[in-house]
């Protein structure tokens, strides 16, 4: 089979012509075979008259039952403490980025300057692009945490809002906030804090956490995310944001998610545990890719070690969602371009403010796409040996 050459996509924020986004995105299709096996149990049929209203009962946009099942899922997995937290649904966690920044920013009438929204490089670029899109009176993009070092802003200065992605996209490391002090608020993005991507050392109990269904179940197209928020005032502001922008997460989606979460819960720790399935796929992909790359002097990957996981109750092998590639040769200053020549489509580290020596490979793709990736990586490494 002859595969089409990668098609160039639109220019990225830095003005570079980037790749065709689908080939390198975090599209979580590695879980499709799992749901094929559970096609019946996870199916939802919605007749034409059903769920037509904007709201569920009493003018509420969120399904009480779905919220209950999500709390059960966190408790069963042990990845987040939901007691004492308010739950806010959104159309994917992408919508939560701005909802939470808005909710944590000083009020428009406050005399303080805008809050500065920051993240540690390499970070998920949407924090920057979305904040810049809405930059305004209450908050603005403040760049990477490295720019601020030990700087502290008093609460009258507007403070910092720091995105902490744990595990991180792109390099899969567990992260802690870098900026401290009473004027710094942290938003923990736990999109990948699930046992198929990382060990779970303890339940996360942060003030503001965001989750998405896109990565644990793989239903990215349903566009469903949720935030767990300790402070009631902050949760009300986030809810108000979602209400004003999209009038609550789609009720069709909420119904589908209810079926999916219930199917996940019914199988936990059994033979058909979705996290055991997901971990096995991701672990094997990481092992194969690392073995191939270990023969190369041209490219290297992030270092990852086996760690104890409270969910599996054993030491588990690494299984990151992304490989964070570094090009080692002087002439491969643009790692994205170097890999593209070998028909390996990646996402440049420029967008993560990590520089062009780095680039990200998504490991969440379909089995077929992963096999093609392995062929091309193997060819690249073999070519080195042959002195090509």
348 near ligand PMP (CB under 6 A): no
Residue from 225, 278, 318, 320 that binds ligand PMP (CB under 6 A)? 225
Terminal Cα distance for the chain, rounded: 24
- Which residues, 6+ apart, have CB-to-CB distance to 104 below 8 Å? 115, 161, 185, 187, 208, 234
93-122 mask for ligand PMP (x: CB under 6 A)?
xx----------------------------
From candidates 62, 105, 165, 217, binder to ligand PMP by CB under 6 A: 165
Torsion 73-79-83-85 (CA) sign? negative
Which pair of structure tokens corresponds to residue 92? 């994917």
φ/ψ of 96, rounded to 5, equals: -70, -25
**Number of shown-chain residues binding ligand PMP (CB under 6 A):** 13
**Closer Cβ to ligand PMP, 212 or 356, answer by number:** 212
Cis peptide before 167 (omega within 30 of 0): yes
Considering the complex, state which of residue 26 and residue 106 has its C-beta at the smaller distance from ligand PMP. 26
Interaction of residue 187 with ligand PMP, rule CB under 6 A: no
Site string for ligand PMP, 190-209 (x = CB under 6 A): -x------------------
At closest approach, how far in Å is the CB of 176 from ligand PMP? 16
Answer yes or no whether residue 186 interacts with ligand PMP by CB under 6 A. no
Nearer to ligand PMP, 41 or 174 (CB): 174
Q: Which stretch binds ligand PMP (CB under 6 A): 88-96, 153-161, 270-278, 335-343?
A: 88-96
- Residue 240 and residue 185: Cα distance in Å, rounded? 20
Task: Quote the least distance from Cβ 163 to ligand PMP, whole Å.
Answer: 9
Dist. CA 196–CA 275, nearest whole Å: 5
Beta strands 307-309 and 358-362 are: unpaired
Going by DSSP bridges, is the β-strand pair 299-301/115-119 parallel, antiparallel, or unpaired?
unpaired
Report the C-alpha gap between 93 and 88 in whole angstroms.
Answer: 11
Q: Would you count residue 239 as binding ligand PMP (CB under 6 A)?
A: no
The Cα–Cα gap between 352 and 187 comes to 18
The reply on whether position 226 binds ligand PMP by CB under 6 A is no
Closest to ligand PMP by CB, 192 or 275: 192
Nearer to ligand PMP, 247 or 315 (CB): 247
Site stretch for ligand PMP (CB under 6 A), options 91-99, 139-147, 258-266, 300-308: 91-99
In the complex with ligand PMP, which residue's Cβ is closer, 191 or 340? Answer: 191
Residue 214 interacting with ligand PMP (CB under 6 A): yes
> Taking the complex as a whole, how short is the minimal distance between the CB of residue 58 and ligand PMP, in angstroms?
27
| Residue 52, φ and ψ in degrees, nearest 5 | -85, -25
Give least dist CB 84 to ligand PMP, A.
24
Tell me which residue has tokens 């089979």: 1
Site membership for ligand PMP, residue 351 (CB under 6 A): no
Compute the C-alpha angle 115/120/124, nearest 5°: 95
112-147 burial, b if ≥16 CB within 10 A, otherwise e?
bbbbbbbbbebbbbbbbebbeeeeeebbbbbebbee
- Measure the CA–CA gap between 319 and 342, rounded to whole angstroms: 24
When the beta carbons of 125 and 142 are compared against ligand PMP, the nearer one is 125
Minimum distance from residue 169 beta carbon to ligand PMP (Å): 4
When asked if residue 26 is in the footprint of ligand PMP (CB under 6 A), the reply is yes
Give the CA angle between residues 298, 299, 301 to the nearest 5°.
155
Q: Considering the rule CB under 6 A, would residue 124 count as an interface residue with ligand PMP?
A: yes
Q: Enumerate binding residues for ligand PMP (CB under 6 A).
A: 26, 92-94, 124, 165, 169, 189, 191, 212, 214, 220, 225
């Amino acid at each position: 089979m002859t595969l089409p050459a990668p098609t160039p996509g639109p220019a990225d924020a830095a003005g570079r012509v980037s790749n065709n986004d689908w080939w390198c995105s975090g599209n979580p299709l590695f879980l499709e075979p799992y749901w094929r096996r559970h096609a019946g149990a996870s199916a939802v049929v919605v007749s034409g008259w059903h769920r037509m209203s904007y709201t569920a009962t009493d003018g509420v946009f969120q399904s009480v039952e779905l919220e209950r099942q999500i709390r059960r899922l966190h408790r069963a997995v042990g990845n987040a403490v939901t007691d004492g937290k308010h739950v806010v649904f959104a159309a994917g966690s992408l919508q939560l980025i701005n909802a939470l920044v808005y909710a944590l920013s000083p009020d428009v009438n406050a005399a303080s300057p805008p809050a500065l929204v920051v993240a540690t490089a390499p970070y998920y670029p949407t924090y920057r692009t979305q904040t810049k899109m809405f930059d305004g009176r209450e908050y603005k993009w403040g760049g990477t945490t490295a720019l601020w070092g030990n700087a502290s802003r008093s609460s009258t200065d507007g403070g910092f809002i720091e995105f902490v992605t744990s595990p991180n996209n792109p390099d899969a490391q567990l992260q802690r906030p870098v900026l401290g002090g009473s004027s710094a608020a942290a938003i923990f993005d736990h999109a990948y804090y699930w046992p198929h991507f990382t060990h779970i050392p303890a339940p996360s109990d942060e003030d503001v956490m965001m989750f998405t269904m896109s990565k644990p179940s793989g239903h990215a197209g349903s566009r469903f995310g949720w935030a767990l928020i300790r402070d009631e005032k902050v949760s009300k502001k986030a809810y108000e944001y979602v209400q004003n922008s999209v009038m609550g997460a789609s009720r069709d989606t909420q119904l589908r998610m209810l079926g999916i979460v219930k199917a996940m819960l019914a199988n936990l720790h059994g033979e058909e545990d979705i996290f055991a399935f997901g971990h096995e796929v991701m672990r094997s992909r990481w092992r194969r890719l690392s073995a191939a790359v270990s023969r190369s002097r041209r490219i290297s990957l992030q270092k990852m070690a086996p760690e104890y996981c409270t969910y599996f109750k054993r030491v588990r092998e690494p299984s990151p969602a992304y490989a964070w590639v570094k090009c080692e040769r002087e002439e491969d200053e643009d790692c994205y371009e170097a890999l593209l020549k070998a028909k390996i489509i990646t996402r440049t580290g420029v967008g993560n403010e990590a520089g062009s020596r780095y680039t990200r490979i998504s490991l969440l793709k379909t089995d077929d796409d992963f096999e093609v990736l392995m062929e091309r990586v193997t060819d690249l490494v073999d070519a080195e040996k042959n002195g090509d």
